Amino acid sequence: MAFSFEILATDGPARAGVFHTPHGSIPTPVFAPVGTAATVKAVPPRDLHDIGATLVLANTYHLHLRPGDELVRDMGGLHRFMAWPGPMLTDSGGFQVFSLTEINRIDDDGVTFRSHIDGSQLRFTPEVSMQIQQNLGADIIMCFDECPTPTDRAVVERAVQRTHQWAARCRQAHPDDSQQALFGIVQGGIFPDLREQSASFLQTLDFPGYAIGGLAVGETKSQMYATLDYTMPTLPADKPRYLMGVGEPDDLAQAIRRGVDIFDCVMPTRLARHGSALTPDGRINMRNRAYAREDAPLDPECDCYCCRTFSRAYLRHLVHSKELLGHHLLSLHNIRFLNRHVQRMREAILEGRLTTYIDTFLGRYLHPA
């Protein structure tokens, strides 16, 4: 089989596994940097490989608008187009449709909206999302879903029903997972009964993996963790579980200890473009004057090119001067930081010491000396 998932070890609900795909195997848990427009901002594929990335995400909505999914298909698909040979995932475009655009109409068939680029009117349906993602050619593709405000029960109930209808249509449009694995997306906001209902329905469609959507979109961290507490046990144990759009180091730790396998987030490169870096002692702002004469590396514990080569003083100069190299170096470091964090949790699961690792990490990251 082109796709298979094996669990090598568990530590409580946490799992260390491998998800095999046509473009390579993904050790899990895994953090995927986001390459929205077929590029992880400021980071070439060569460097992604060097810092340990094994999965990259690209965005259906943005690539459909430009350069066009048919062009990407004609250029050999996403892997060849962006010269990333490893596994790739595309989201459905639904989150961007609901968050970035002017919605003209949402109905049970799909969504009519206006492009955020030129205002042109467009229509997304489950079948359209499937066709775009098939043109793009990623290994893992996502059902078209409605991502609602997570705390309004009436809104969430409608979105869950629509998400289920659309998932069935996506499954009908994409019945064969031999070349692209279609994941279902569990919705339900912060409501346990709706999450259970959603997970139960989606399993009737026999997806090769399941995502938890509708989190990190306005609820508190405690609400997110509580939602994972009652959602994770409703998902099949023998298939990968993907928490969409989550990448804060503390959230990764809390989700992995609850059994999540796959993550993605724009956060590490977005922070870099704003001059911020992730360290074991929390985020630091490289614009701070305190770093102007500091000869130490950004993070002495990190093995990335940025930390092995440059001082905090130089990085502060790049950020203060708005030099593009600063974006590149901080992006390299931030992605590497998250990759190492997740890799260390995987090692801890294999060795049966995850709780010790997480408690030590969070004690320092959330409460630096």
Q: Is the pLDDT of residue 236 over 90?
A: yes
User: Catalytic annotation on 264?
Assistant: yes
Whether residue 22 is preceded by a cis peptide bond, meaning omega within 30 degrees of 0, is: no
pLDDT of residue 25: 98
Q: Which of 246, 264, 282 is the last residue of a domain?
A: 264
Tokens of 247: 């990448």
Shared domain check, 193 and 76: yes
Residue 193 falls in the annotated catalytic set: no
Does residue 151 sit in the same domain as residue 278? no
Whether omega before 67 lies within 30 degrees of 0, making that bond cis, reads yes
Decide: 112 and 162 in contact? Cβ < 8 Å.
no
Catalytic annotation, pick one of 69, 91, 177, 299: 91
Same domain, 274 and 260: no
* Whether 187 and 294 share a structural domain: no
- For a pLDDT cut of 90, what percent of the chain falls above it? 93
**Taking 80 as the threshold, does the pLDDT of residue 101 lie above it?**
no
Rounded mean pLDDT, 222-238: 98
Judgement on whether residues 260 and 270 belong to the same structural domain of the protein: no
How many structural domains comprise the chain? Answer: 2
Region 175-184: mean pLDDT is: 97
One domain for residues 258 and 294: no
| C-beta separation of 148 from 187 below 8 A | yes
251, 261, 264, 299: the catalytic one is: 264
Share of the chain above pLDDT 70, in %: 100
pLDDT of residue 1: 65
Q: Which of 318, 247, 334, 331 is nearest to 286 (CA)?
A: 318
Which CATH number does the domain housing residue 178 bear? 3.20.20.105
Q: Indicate the residue among 201, 230, 264 that finishes a domain.
A: 264
Q: Give me the mean pLDDT over the 255-278 stretch.
A: 98
Where does the pLDDT of residue 369 fall: very low under 50, low under 70, confident under 90, or very high at 90 and above?
Answer: confident
State whether 173 and 311 are in the same domain: no
**pLDDT tens readout for residues 7-18:** 999 999 999 999
Report pLDDT for 192.
98
Pair (321, 184) in one structural domain: no
Q: Are 33 and 40 contacting, i.e. CB atoms less than 8 angstroms apart?
A: yes
pLDDT tier at 99 (50, 70, 90 boundaries)? confident
Residue closest to 51 by CA, chosen among 300, 251, 337, 263: 337
Q: What confidence tens digit (pLDDT) does each residue in 301-340 have?
A: 999 999 999 999 999 999 999 999 999 999 999 999 999 9
| pLDDT value, residue 69 | 98
168 and 279 in a single domain? The answer is no
Q: Are residues 202 and 78 in the same domain?
A: yes
Give residue for tokens 């046509």: 22
Q: Average pLDDT, stretch 30-35? A: 98
Q: Is 282 left (phi over 0), alpha (psi -120 to 50) or beta?
A: left
Give me the domain span that covers residue 368: 266-369
Is residue 98 domain-shared with residue 190, that is, in the same domain? yes
Q: Are residues 11 and 32 in the same domain?
A: yes
Last residue of a domain, one of 264, 298, 327: 264
* Sequence-ordered alpha helix ranges (H) in the chain: 45-50, 60-65, 69-74, 78-81, 94-100, 126-136, 153-173, 192-203, 221-231, 249-256, 267-273, 305-309, 312-320, 324-351, 354-366
pLDDT for res 149: 87
